[in-house]
A = this chain, B = another copy of it.
Amino acid sequence: MTTDTPGATPRTLCSALPAAEPGSTVRLQGWVHRRRELSAVTFLVLRDRSGLAQVVLPAGSEVPPEETTVEVVGTATANAQAPGGVEVTGPTITLLTEPAATPPVELWRPALTASLPTLLDHAPVTWRHPAQKARWQLAAASLQGFRSTLDGLDFTEIQTPKFVASATESGANVFEVDYFGRPAYLAQSPQFYKQQMVGVFERVYEVGPVFRAEPHDTVRHLAEYVSLDAELGFVRDHRDVLTVLREVLAGMVAAVHERAGEAVALTGADVPVVPEEIPVIHFRDALALVGAPDDEPDLAPEHERALGAWAREEHDSDFVAVEGYPMAKRPFYTHPWSGPADDPARWSNSFDLLFRGLELVTGGQRLHQPSEYDAAIRARGEDPASYASYLQAFEHGMPPHGGFAIGLERWTGRLTGAQNVREVTLFPRDLNRLTP
């Protein structure tokens, strides 16, 4: 498959220029990344999807402005000083567009030092910076690793609706849509649907957008983010879910190394080693460890950080799972604690996975008996009838099951040491931002 004109010199990618035969004619296409006019010579640095290449012109040559797209036909010439040891000499440069306007930031500088609002306002252009682009390449590789690992474990990909009839899972933070004149809502997660599909395929995953009308402007929340969801049947408890999660994280890390090695180098990403067994601590013990009162229902950010430091110190691990989260803080479909405990009704078969002291994944075992759902929904003061379509799956036989959800932006944010998830989101959406 080629997209070259028949008979014309095939296109050479910048990354393939070092392998071109010296003296041969090459044809490159890309963006003018940088112009450098020296007294004796003019350089044009060309950028394409694969990297950069140096093109040499006589001093005083007119070179199109940065970001203009061009075709360069010239001679591949060895030059030990050129990046990769080969440059293009004697070029003919053809503009593929009108000359580009001056970019809002200098994309040819090694580091992108613009402020976050500038980066975000000009996202269509600022993502072109090689170091910025590399951040997304880590995300793309991670998505591939997530899917291929689960494919290998016999999971089936699903695509479930984003329009839902009621804001059932959690009444708060839901977006309302005008759906042909009546209200509908945007799914806050594929939770209900992935559970129902466990009844069909046993093991399912979905990668897609989820919507949260998050009224706070924080560095870790977005109104729309990419959720990597998995759910599986015939588990004993949440520990089986955690075992699959470990495999998935290891697969994502492997994909990042295999498919985005250069992006790791460019971003300086600190890619973790996923331990053979992720350390697990019970919520109650976690509270004691960080010195929090034993009736705290949740972990504060500083508690998460302390647990992250503890996992690093004690287990040489970037990851730690906190299991047994209080039922009071978990959604109604959460399975109660099934291990030994002095207060079994208080704890749950669910966990948060912290990655370097930040919550990255929430997961656990779900209820699977219809009578349990009936009781759990009534306990919230709600009518099971309003959950009728979801409850069908349970009335007609569901296995013990559980699953987890990974937030893509939190993952890549943590990999790259980003201060704000917006830095690793192509076009973030929040309380204040709806463009570009």
Contact = CB atoms under 8 A, between A and B. Distances in A.
Contact of A96 (B100, B144, B243, B399): B399
Copies in the complex: 2
Nearest to A434: B165
Interface stretch (A195-203, A290-298, A317-325, A352-360): A195-203
Interface in A167-184: 175-180, 184
Interface string A185-229: 010000001001101111100001101010100000001101000
22 contacts: A11-B234, A49-B154, A50-B154, A69-B397, A96-B234, A96-B368, A96-B399, A98-B369, A98-B370, A101-B395, A122-B392, A127-B197, A144-B147, A144-B151, A162-B209, A162-B211, A163-B429, A179-B434, A193-B426, A208-B208, A389-B435, A390-B436
A31 interface: yes
A164 interface: yes
A125 B369 CA distance: 15
Interface of A: 1-3, 5, 11, 29, 31-32, 48-50, 67-69, 96-98, 100-101, 103, 122-125, 127-128, 133, 136-137, 139-140, 143-144, 147, 151, 153-154, 156-165, 175-180, 184, 186, 193, 196-197, 199-203, 208-209, 211, 213, 215, 223-224, 226, 232-236, 240, 243-244, 246-247, 368-371, 389-390, 392-400, 408, 426-429, 431, 434-436
Nearest to A203: B49
Nearest to A208: B208
Which of A49, A156, A232, A426 is packed against the most chain B CB atoms within 10 Å?
A49
A297 to B, nearest CB: 28
A119 to B, nearest CB: 13
A172 to B, nearest CB: 14
A109 B156 CA distance: 24
Which of A11, A127, A244 is packed against the most chain B CB atoms within 10 Å?
A127
Contact of A427 (B193, B215, B431): B193
B392 A125 contact: yes
A124 B193 CA distance: 8
Contacts of A408: 159
A426 B193 CA distance: 9
Contact of A177 (B176, B215, B236, B371): B176
A159 B429 CA distance: 13
B163 A434 contact: yes
Contacts of A232: 3
Contacts of A428: 161
B163 A213 contact: no
A156 B140 contact: yes
Nearest to A64: B397
Contact of A200 (B128, B153, B389, B400): B128
Contact of A97 (B136, B200, B397): B397
Given A124-B196, A180-B431, A136 B151 contact: no
A397 B434 contact: no
A67 to B, nearest CB: 4
Given A128-B199, A180-B431, A427-B161, A243 B397 contact: no
Given A29-B399, A69-B398, A144-B157, 12 more contacts: A2-B243, A29-B234, A48-B202, A96-B400, A127-B199, A140-B156, A143-B157, A144-B147, A159-B226, A160-B426, A161-B429, A176-B178
